[in-house]
Amino acid sequence: MPTFLGRGECGGHVTLLFTVSDQSDDPVEQGSLGAGICVEDGVEAIARGEEGGPGLSVRFVDAEADPTLYEDVLGLLVEEVPEVGDVSWEINVRLALPTSQGFGMSGSGAIAAAMAFQRAMGLPHEESLRRCYSVAHRVERARSTGLGDVTALAAGGVERRLVAGAPYHGALLENGPGRAEGWTCNTPVVLAWRSDAGKHTSGYIDDAQWKKSISEAGAKQMERLSLGEWDQSRWLGLMDAAHAFAEDSGLLKDASRTELLSTASEVIEVSGMRDEASALLCMLGESVAVVPTDPEDEDSGLSALVPELEQAGLESIMTRVGELS
């Protein structure tokens, strides 16, 4: 009996500022404008199948998450590639970052799984890649777990989202309507979070008042960030915009977020890195991204902050800005 085997991986994504663009009834046209950072660490998925489907067993390695995400991914794939449904599947998922903490793990997981299933079937690379992003975006919107993470990940690196919507759509997997662009260098990033799970994304993006305050604050910052070339010269401007968005949106008024940002900033100060690093809130978790003020400083000493953050009661990991997709 033939055995199918495929692997997919996708890094995480940290949203620094965004709008909520969900006015359309079509999930393909829903999404967000905004900016953020794609990181190397994320989700790895290995799919193994045998003829005799349909069926899916989801196993998590070293962490627990919601298996229905991967069931939804397979369901959409079967609609577009019916032969995928003729296989009984097992998928093993390894998450390098926690879920519900603003690291884009649902989008990353959906992309990695969609790629693993398609590689196992031997489908063409470019077709599979485009379908990964298309399927993952629609799964995210159906579950209210994200808006623009998939479009951001389709760009890679330090990204800005200029048009809301899925990065690819339709039977021919055409570009858009969403559009994002990115730049990258080997910039170190320290992610830090509370061990307790954060508030689910839908608690914000499905709430009318939060949508209004978030979108107004995000649109204000994107007026400036959407202009001109997008490269390393915009790094400090992005950091300033992220701080302003956190304040203007009202998200920083949450006492736990204020305390979290204060803790990370104090660690930076005590470590003597006030001028070399800055802590940015990750949207929409209870987490921060600590980044160097110089994006081209590959050896900024940020790794020394990891044990200090953990001593302050935060879990943390050292990663880097991801490559362009």
CATH number assigned to the domain comprising residue 247: 3.30.70
Q: Is residue 153 domain-resident?
A: yes
Q: Is residue 309 domain-resident?
A: yes
For residues 223 and 117, state if they share a domain: no
Each residue's pLDDT tens digit in the chain (325 positions)? Answer: 569 999 999 999 999 999 999 999 999 999 999 999 999 999 999 999 999 878 999 999 988 899 999 999 999 999 999 999 999 999 999 999 999 999 999 999 999 999 999 999 999 999 999 999 999 999 999 999 999 999 999 999 999 999 999 999 999 999 999 999 999 999 999 999 998 755 556 677 778 898 999 999 999 999 999 999 999 999 999 999 999 999 999 999 888 899 999 999 999 999 999 999 999 999 988 999 999 999 999 877 899 999 999 999 999 999 999 999 9
Domain termination residue (choose one: 181, 200, 223): 181
Which ranges in 93-228 belong to alpha helices (H)? 105-120, 125-143, 149-155, 202-205, 208-225
For residues 28 and 158, state if they share a domain: yes
From the number of C-beta atoms within 10 Å of its C-beta (0-12, 13-18, 19+), residue 83 rates as exposed
For residues 160 and 276, state if they share a domain: no
Domain termination residue (choose one: 119, 154, 181): 181
CB 167 within 8 A of CB 154: yes
For residues 20 and 104, state if they share a domain: yes
Expressed as residue numbers, the domain containing 241 is: 188-320
For residues 221 and 147, state if they share a domain: no
For residues 148 and 250, state if they share a domain: no
What pLDDT does residue 255 have?
82
What pLDDT does residue 285 have?
84
For residues 46 and 174, state if they share a domain: yes
For residues 196 and 271, state if they share a domain: yes
What pLDDT does residue 197 have?
55
For residues 32 and 53, state if they share a domain: yes
pLDDT tens digits, residue range 186-236? 999 999 999 875 555 667 777 889 899 999 999 999 999 999 999 999 999
Counted domains in the chain: 2
> Which contacts (CB < 8 Å, 24+ apart) does range 259-266 have?
260/194, 260/286, 260/287, 260/288, 260/314, 261/288, 263/309, 263/312, 263/313, 263/314, 264/192, 264/288, 264/290, 264/309, 264/312, 264/314, 266/312
pTM as predicted:
0.96
What pLDDT does residue 54 have?
87
What pLDDT does residue 166 have?
98
What pLDDT does residue 207 have?
84
What pLDDT does residue 1 have?
56
CATH code: domain of residue 177? 3.30.230.10
Domain termination residue (choose one: 146, 181, 216): 181
